[in-house]
Structure 1
């Protein structure tokens, strides 16, 4: 790793904080679309370079090369337009990286790409993108938008106006200056993650330099992910070390603009790192699963007090509670969280508490099983950890049985990568699930320490006090949020 790069853990920790604060933005370059099947600038203009009689291996100033092509055609950009349409006109599926970004609370996207992968991934995530690639679009706001996508170099739907040659770049401050001003403002107010970028774009370099000049020592910190320099086949050690040194200087220069670099071994590691960010973010939200018509060895007031205190302490630690308001359980959990929010003077919102009472038909009967499954999945997808307490119901014959709904929620959590924490000491389905997790402990908690193993064991012991259960639950949650 470059001595100038920051550790992955630092990036994950700090960028996750920005996501929680709703201050995060993303800037996506051509490299991020390559795994979807699109080409980078070198490949895009390879034919243009060859047609000019130049060597694609030797030409690196591709903006100038594009201008040479226009000059040769007497100022006509039609050939470049056809090149863009041929290489980018066919729609591709968003990559895993695009999907992860779309799932995160990022409301501002910037890109120099012409493709539609960002907006498509947002739509797939059931979000409404407000796409802007012309000046006229800047003055309108798409109804109920969830994210703004600024395509500062144009869109494949309008290739004739794409920014690609030197003329376009030189005219940009005059023709599209509002985009530059908006980006400058976002760079001052938001924390950006740069992906698929080489930072050789003259527009971006100019804007970053202006932000640095204006803000001086008060620049906002940004991040970028880059692939480590690796030795090429048959490359000499001297040439390899030269390239390493040059990248160190480049990363240091990015620091001058307050852009911190995190390095990965390969481009395939970028989605892995983004997934790590998404997991860390989601683990600040906990799904609470439970229902009870009786409490077994627990007195009703003891169970109510335990759940109330648990809801309050979770909220106190800035953990968002997501619950379907299960019978006998949801009310106490919710009231505990509400008490803390009220005492702390925090306005109640879904940033702190997401309540989702299960749907019923007009007659008051439960909705279809399929609809309940989708409802459960919709709650669980917001979370990274799930708590399971009690879990019983009355069947049609009037007998108390373990909750099948809790069983389904557990299975949905496991399938979604949500880590389950069954509190077996509360009995019923929670006890059954605790035994299941305990039997495959290393699969569910692969990085658990001896302390975490002990904490989990305590959750299955009926003699563990309510206060101790709460303490051990928080110990396990803290471990998972650091993982």
Structure 2
């Protein structure tokens, strides 16, 4: 390896070690904030976004080729679904039933057990499902679910707060799913957004658990 490349590799390794040391320290002090994405739920069998898109397209009698459009996303399809049906209640009910995982499967999940054992004070998740909450239940750890501003006021002190940043199946109105929902979220002025900025500025964020293939459990 050329000298310049070797120096760059050493610098990268040193920086990575510094980051890991900072994260370890934050975890020990309960100052770390965890961000959980779809990969964590997929690890226990939940379907991918492709399954959701295919369901909406079938319901709307649209060919999957429409997804080739440059400006067409799953949020666009969800917006069409809402306009066609008047709401997304039926879609949410389908997701609630299709994305249901048994507590026993979550109990056996090494990843969910690890998340619970690390005792994060705050977890942000963009997942609509309740797998994280179930993980805390089956492992006997107290927690508080936060999907509304009112939940922040009533959450007990000292327990892990699971903040459903894109909403929760139990309350359709909180879901961030359609194009309009995402545009509204981009204003970043909701109570959860204000809380998010405060938490991130005051804590050491842990890695965003999105792509399970990138996670290595030791």
TM bucket, shorter chain:
0.7 to 0.9
Match status 1:71 vs 2:83: yes
Corresponding residue for 2:29?
21
After the TM superposition, which segments of 4 or more aligned residues of structure 1 sit over 6 Å from their partners? 173-176
- Out of 28, 38, 57, which is 2:46 matched to? 38
- Out of 139, 143, 148, which is 2:153 matched to? 139
Supply the distance in 1 between the matched residues of 2:179 and 2:194 (Cα, whole angstroms): 20
Q: For structure 1, which segment, 45-54 or 128-137, has the greater mean C-alpha deviation from structure 2 after superposition?
A: 45-54
Corresponding residue for 1:122?
136
- Given that 2:89 and 2:172 are in contact with CA atoms closer than 8 Å, whether structure 1 keeps it comes out as no
TM-score by length of structure 1 reads 0.37
Change beyond 3 A, Cα 1:90–1:98 = closer
Corresponding residue for 1:270?
215
Q: Which protein is bigger by CA-based radius of gyration?
A: 1
- Given that 1:115 and 1:156 are in contact with CA atoms closer than 8 Å, whether structure 2 keeps it comes out as yes
Q: CA deviation at 1:33?
A: 0.9
**1:130 aligns to what SS in structure 2?**
strand
Counterpart mapping for 1:242-257 below 5 A: none
- Given that 1:64 and 1:165 are in contact with CA atoms closer than 8 Å, whether structure 2 keeps it comes out as yes
By relative contact order (CA 8 Å, sep 6+), the higher-ranking structure is: 2
Match status 1:100 vs 2:100: no
Change beyond 3 A, Cα 1:161–1:176 = farther
Change beyond 3 A, Cα 1:109–1:151 = same
Q: CA deviation at 1:31?
A: 1.4
Q: Residues 29-87 of structure 1, C-alpha deviation per residue, up to 9 Å, x if partnerless?
A: 111110111122222222112444131773762111111221222x3223322332232
**1:127 aligns to what SS in structure 2?**
coil
Q: CA deviation at 1:188?
A: 0.8
Corresponding residue for 2:6?
none
Identify unmatched segments of 5+ residues in structure 2: 1-8
Supply the distance in 1 between the matched residues of 2:158 and 2:102 (Cα, whole angstroms): 23
- Given that 1:84 and 1:159 are in contact with CA atoms closer than 8 Å, whether structure 2 keeps it comes out as no
The alignment of Structure 1 onto Structure 2 pairs a total of residues equal to 199
Corresponding residue for 2:183?
170
Q: Residues 283-326 of structure 1, C-alpha deviation per residue, up to 9 Å, x if partnerless?
A: xxxxxxxxxxxxxxxxxxxxxxxxxxxxxxxxxxxxxxxxxxxx
- Given that 1:30 and 1:112 are in contact with CA atoms closer than 8 Å, whether structure 2 keeps it comes out as yes
TM-score by length of structure 2 reads 0.77
Match status 1:156 vs 2:163: no
Counterpart mapping for 1:397-408 below 5 A: none
